[in-house]
Amino acid sequence: MIPQLSIIIASINGQSYLHECLKALHQQVGNISVEVIVADCVGTAITDLVATEYPEVKLIAFNEFQTVAVLRATAIRAAQGEIIAITEDHCIPPTNWYESIWQAHQKYAAVAIGGTVDNGATERLLDWAVFFCEYGKFMSPVLDGIVDDLPAPNVSYKHHALTAILDQLKQGYRETFVHNYLATQGEILWSDSTISMIHKKYFTLQGFLTERYHYSRAFAGQRNATISSLRRIFYLCCAPLLPPLLLLRLSKQIFIRKHYLQKFCLAMPYLIIFTFTWAIGEVIGYAIGSGDSERHLA
């Protein structure tokens, strides 16, 4: 029997994070038929967790390191559900997540539907700063309707939309490029505020700066393959302008929502550092490529 939903999780952050995520999935309400697929490269700790606590989960285990993009693509190729939903191992869905995804796809023709992402790591200013930086534009409330981007921890697709581009996923699933491609094919990206997710991950400053640099370098390096040399030079020259532009965009997103303005202002020193780090990564990526940056992404 074909399940209604396939849930895709790339496991790279360790047993404790994945355990909380799977526990929340185990507590879902409703009568939605689901397969949960975990693609892991952490090792025996995850294998033991799934075998003892969540035997219903389909585990794809790698003995060697794999990037998040490759883990996701591997799980997508194994998915059989009518709808394929992607989240992250450090995210905790509410109990109605399955139902809200299924109902949204019955209601809307859009092939890709995403929702909100809110912060669950609220004790430290650093984690707030990381959350603002990564998911500020997906914080509650979001408007329902057509959008130009959807959040990787809370996005779902009609099965045919991903199977049609499996060849493009050979090097891995990257939401930015998948969404851009779908848009160029005339497909709609839809935001539905009823589909919510909690992002709960704790960071170190050095760890996030490293991740931020490598993510932006990988982004620019991957983008090089899809643009002309002239446009590549243009992006390279404009990259130093990114810090104020990114801060302006982020400020607008937070101030429009009027949520956590005090937290946002207090987090500004971190955010300034983050945006400069992003710009440096893009400069290096456009100049000499992504190198091994994808190996550093979690």
CATH number for the domain including 63? Answer: 3.90.550.10
What's CA 293's distance to the chain center, in Å?
17
Question: Cα–Cα distance between 133 and 143 in angstroms, integer?
Answer: 19
255 and 191 within one domain? no
With vertex at residue 275, the alpha carbon angle to CA 203 and CA 242, rounded to the nearest 5 degrees, is 155
Last residue of a domain, one of 158, 176, 199: 199
162 and 74 within one domain? yes
User: What integer pLDDT is reported at residue 269 of this predicted model?
Assistant: 97
149 and 63 within one domain? yes
Torsion over CA of 160, 165, 167 and 173, rounded to 10 degrees? -100
Whole-model pTM: value is 0.92
Query: In this structure, what token pair is assigned to residue 157?
Result: 């697709």
273 and 252 within one domain? yes
Q: Which domain holds residue 230?
A: 205-296
164 and 132 within one domain? yes
| CA dihedral sign, ordered 209, 14, 32, 72 | positive
Last residue of a domain, one of 153, 174, 199: 199
257 and 136 within one domain? no
User: What integer pLDDT is reported at residue 298 of this predicted model?
Assistant: 62
pLDDT along the chain (298 residues), means of 10: 96 95 96 97 94 96 92 96 97 98 97 97 97 94 93 96 86 88 93 97 96 92 89 90 92 88 95 96 93 78
Question: Cα–Cα distance between 56 and 89 in angstroms, integer?
Answer: 17
User: What integer pLDDT is reported at residue 39 of this predicted model?
Assistant: 97
217 and 151 within one domain? no
Query: In this structure, what token pair is assigned to residue 93?
Result: 């869905």
Other C-beta atoms lying within 10 Å of the C-beta of residue 113? 26
Query: In this structure, what token pair is assigned to residue 29?
Result: 């309400």
Reduced to 3 states, what is the DSSP secondary structure of residue 122?
A: coil
Question: Cα–Cα distance between 95 and 60 in angstroms, integer?
Answer: 25
Last residue of a domain, one of 169, 199, 229: 199
Burial (Cβ within 10 Å: 0-12, 13-18, ≥19) of residue 43:
middle
Amino acid letter at 265?
Answer: C
173 and 82 within one domain? yes
217 and 171 within one domain? no
Query: In this structure, what token pair is assigned to residue 47?
Result: 């294998």
Pair 53, 159: CB distance under 8 Å: no
